[in-house]
Structures are given as structure tokens and as C-alpha cells.
């Protein structure tokens, strides 16, 4: 991928390493040479304000994320396309946990081949997760001045694909002892379905939930706006856009299963009256054989209150909505919704 860096793109070549087991990457004539220190990252955290946040959730070690890094030999970052002499040194590279990638570095996230810090200058980094999105969306995938952008994104079969972007990390000169800090944010909403209450005589298990009448594809932009007086404070303003909305239908719904409390990731959106779900479940009385059942279509926004407003009007970014399903004989399924910050990984 070639990005619009007006001052040139690095030609990345392989050089002899300090040790025979190492691979060094040539940062080109603009850099004064390479150190022996690899570019590495700490285990990222998700949706937390600081590394000291006690509610932080760490990035799952089995996943990988993509990194892009801008190098400049002097001064500080002053804009992705306006920092003098800036070149893309790390151009959309996969980083994996060291124990998964088989490198000698322990407890950090690194690339293969390893990228080494230039001897001098600074770097500014951006990242996304999971890395596989770059290959899956190819033509509709980009990163740079405005951050991450993906056209035609869908969370995939069963709503299983997450989409996260990381806060930019500015003006770095080394990885430190533990690696560079990254904080990821969810760009999707999460729907989770749980059985509420219990009965000693009756066992009810949710088999799956199907959902339709909701948007299945959209265009995401991290939307970094480089307008602040301090470049190191440029922040993301994530947005979703639907040029032509494409919906799940009752004939081809979003099918959410795989556990007794199934969960799916969906594109943030308003909830219309057409958003419906059906719950598939089994009922077992005592030691008898389980009986399979399915609910009638249920409005996902919930019942309207006396003033005409909905129980819930939209699914917001980086938020988890837990549908607590109550099964009764008179009203087969009722639900309440818990809304909370989404801190889990992909």
C-alpha cells in the first residue's frame, strides 16, 4: 500500500543483522542508521483512559494488530502529511505477541521481520485490530492522515468480527523496557443475550438468536482531524456512514449462537420498528427430554412507554447491550436491557 506522504515512501530492504538470527530493516537514506532495539509494544488495553485504570481489559494474546508508523529525523510531529522529511517506516505491518510469533523477545508484541529503531529522530504510530481486516477489505482499506478507514465493513457471519482502532502515539524515540503503550477502542456495538432468573424444576437453554431489520454493512472512518493547535493532541472522531443501507432480512438474518449466552458485534445504528429477533431455545422439565421452541418475532427496541418513547432507541459505538430474557408461561419471552461500556477484546 502506498500512502500520500508528500516527502517520499521508504524502500524497505533486508540487511544483515547484528546477530545471524536477526533481520534488520533499512530505514533509507533519510535516517542516520539503525539501533539494536526492536520496535515493540506492550500488551495493549481496550477502552480505558489510562494504563492505571483498574477496569482495564488487556488485548487477547491470540490476536494480532496492524501498525503504521511515521518517521522524521528532526523536530516533533506537525501533521501526517506536513511533518518535514516524514516517511512511512512501518507501513501496515502485523504485530503479534512474542510467544505466538516465536521471537526471542518475551512478553511484548513484535513483528516478523523485526523493525529496529533508527538512531535518531522520532516516530508517531497508529494501529488497528484485527490485522486481518487489511487483507479482507484490500481495496476499501486505508490509513494515514485521517486514521483508519474501511469501506463496506460487515461484522461477518454471526457478527463475529470486531473492529478496533488505537489512539495515536506521538513523538516516540524508543520502545522502553516493556514496549510502547497502545489503547484500543471498539468501533462497533455488542449485543449479548442471557437467560434471566432460574427454576429448579425447569431448565431453559438459549440455542441461538436470529436478528433482522438492522443494517449489516457500513463505511467506517476513524476521522482524525488535524486542526488543534497542539499536534500531539489530534484525536479520533470516529464515524459510520451508510451511503446505501444494506439490511439483514428475516430470510437471511444475523444468526447469533455458539454459547448459552450468545453475543455478536454489530454496526452502531438507530433501532427502527423493523428491528426484530427470534429466540430459539430448549425447555426441559425435570429429567424429561428437552423440547425445542422458538419465540414469535420480538421488537428489539422494547415496549414503548406511555409517552411514546422506546425503551432503547439506538445501539451506540463501544457499548454492550445485554438482553436479559425472561421465559414465562403467560408471556413466553420478556426482556430488560443492561447497557454498559464494552471492555472486551476481539
What are 195-231's pLDDT values in tens digits? 987 777 888 999 999 999 999 999 999 999 998 788 8
Mean pLDDT of the chain: 83
Cβ contact 249:210 at 8 Å: no
Dist. CA 60–CA 41, nearest whole Å: 14
pLDDT over 80 (residue 12):
no
pLDDT band at 304 (very low <50, low <70, confident <90, very high): low
Band of residue 151 on the pLDDT scale cut at 50, 70, 90: very high
Domain parsing of the chain, residue ranges: 14-139+162-186, 190-341
Q: pLDDT by residue (tens digit) across 69-80?
A: 999 999 999 999
Query: 289: which 3 cell numbers?
Result: 427430554
Strands (E), 62-201: 64-72, 87-97, 109-110, 116-118, 122-129, 141-142, 149-153, 164-166, 169-172, 183-186, 189-195
Give residue-wise pLDDT tens across range 165-204.
Answer: 999 999 999 998 889 999 999 999 999 999 987 777 888 9
DSSP string of 78-103?
--TTTSTT-EEEEEEEEEEEHHHHT-
What fold does the segment set 14-139+162-186 form as a domain? Immunoglobulin-like (2.60.40)
Domains 14-139+162-186 and 190-341 in one fold: yes
Per-residue pLDDT averaged across 56-73, rounded? 91
Residue 92 has pLDDT above 80, yes or no: yes
- Whether residue 147 is predicted with pLDDT greater than 50 in this model: the reply is yes
Residue 130, preceding peptide bond in cis (omega within 30° of 0): yes
Identify the CATH number of the domain defined by range 190-341: 2.60.40
Tell how strand 109-110 and strand 87-97 pair up: antiparallel
Q: Where are the beta strands (DSSP E) in 167-295?
A: 169-172, 183-186, 189-195, 202-212, 218-221, 239-241, 254-257, 263-266, 269-270, 276-285, 291-294
255 and 158 in contact (C-beta within 8 Å)?
Answer: yes
Residue 216: which of 181, 255, 173, 184 has the closest Cα? Answer: 255
Whether residue 113 is predicted with pLDDT greater than 60 in this model: the reply is yes
- For the stretch 223-261, pLDDT in tens is 999 987 888 889 899 999 998 889 999 999 999 998 889
Amino acid at each position: 500500500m502506498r500512502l500520500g506522504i508528500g516527502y517520499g515512501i521508504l524502500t524497505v530492504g533486508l540487511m544483515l543483522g547484528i546477530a545471524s538470527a536477526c533481520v534488520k530493516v533499512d530505514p533509507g537514506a533519510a535516517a542516520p542508521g539503525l539501533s539494536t532495539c526492536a520496535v515493540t509494544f506492550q500488551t495493549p488495553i481496550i477502552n480505558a483512559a489510562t494504563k492505571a485504570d483498574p477496569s482495564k481489559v488487556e488485548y487477547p494474546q491470540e490476536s494480532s494488530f496492524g501498525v503504521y508508523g511515521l518517521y522524521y529525523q528532526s523536530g516533533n510531529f506537525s501533521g501526517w502529511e506536513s511533518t518535514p522529511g516524514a516517511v512511512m517506516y512501518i507501513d501496515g505491518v502485523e504485530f503479534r505477541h512474542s510467544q505466538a510469533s516465536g521471537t526471542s523477545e518475551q512478553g511484548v508484541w513484535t513483528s516478523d521481520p523485526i523493525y529496529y529503531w533508527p538512531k535518531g529522530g522520532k516516530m508517531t504510530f497508529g494501529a488497528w485490530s484485527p490485522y486481518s481486516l487489511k487483507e479482507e477489505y484490500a481495496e476499501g482499506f486505508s490509513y494515514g492522515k485521517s486514521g483508519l478507514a474501511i469501506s463496506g465493513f460487515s461484522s461477518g457471519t454471526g457478527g463475529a468480527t470486531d473492529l478496533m482502532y488505537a489512539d495515536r502515539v506521538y513523538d516516540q524515540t524508543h520502545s522502553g523496557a516493556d514496549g510502547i503503550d497502545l489503547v484500543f477502542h471498539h468501533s462497533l456495538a455488542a449485543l449479548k443475550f442471557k437467560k434471566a432468573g432460574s427454576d429448579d424444576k425447569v431448565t431453559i437453554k438459549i440455542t441461538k438468536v436470529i436478528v433482522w431489520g438492522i443494517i449489516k454493512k457500513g463505511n467506517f472512518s476513524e476521522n482524525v482531524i488535524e486542526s488543534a493547535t497542539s499536534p500531539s493532541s489530534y484525536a479520533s472522531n470516529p464515524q459510520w456512514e451508510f451511503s446505501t443501507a444494506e439490511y439483514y432480512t428475516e430470510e437471511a438474518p444475523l444468526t447469533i449462537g455458539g454459547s448459552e449466552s450468545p453475543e455478536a458485534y454489530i454496526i452502531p445504528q438507530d433501532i427502527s420498528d423493523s428491528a426484530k429477533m427470534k429466540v430459539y431455545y430448549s425447555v426441559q422439565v425435570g429429567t424429561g427430554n428437552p423440547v425445542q421452541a422458538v419465540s414469535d418475532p420480538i421488537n428489539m427496541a422494547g415496549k414503548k412507554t406511555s409517552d411514546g418513547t422506546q425503551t432503547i432507541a439506538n445501539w451506540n459505538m463501544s457499548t454492550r447491550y445485554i438482553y436479559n430474557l425472561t421465559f414465562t408461561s403467560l408471556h413466553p419471552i420478556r426482556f430488560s436491557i443492561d447497557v454498559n461500556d464494552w471492555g472486551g477484546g476481539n
